[in-house]
Amino acid sequence: GENVEQHPSTLSVQEGDSAVIKCTYSDSASNYFPWYKQELGKRPQLIIDIRSNVGEKKDQRIAVTLNKTAKHFSLHITETQPEDSAVYFCAARGLDTSGTYKYIFGTGTRLKVLA
């Protein structure tokens, strides 16, 4: 079945440094790739997304890149701050056999930004 692999599972960086989280998906028909940030006990919140017809998207300190050929996409956070500490999930969206959008999530990356 479809699968999304996410690495690393934990990541510690010094405040001000950059953080990179990588995901690989298996379904070549996937056309949309959101990234969510989840703080402890809270709901996942969308932070950035990218569609399959775009190679890169940036929003202030956050950027996402997509390599459709390799089926890789990555989240880049620059100038990290303590409030960036959370669990980050990638996801890939595709259509199932009934024509319904279905999301496959990565297993998450726990990011710790050390002050």
Residue ranges in contact with another protein by CB under 8 A? 1, 31-32, 34, 36, 42-46, 49, 51, 89, 93, 96, 98-108
Name the minimum Å distance from CB 56 to another protein.
18
Nearer to another protein, 2 or 78 (CB): 2
CA–CA distance, 56 with 52 (Å, rounded to integer): 10
Nearer to another protein, 12 or 107 (CB): 107
CA–CA distance, 68 with 61 (Å, rounded to integer): 23
Is residue 81 within 8 A of residue 113, CB to CB? The reply is: yes
Nearer to another protein, 17 or 59 (CB): 59
- Residues whose CB is less than 8 angstroms from the CB of residue 1 and which lie 6 or more positions away in sequence, other chains included: none
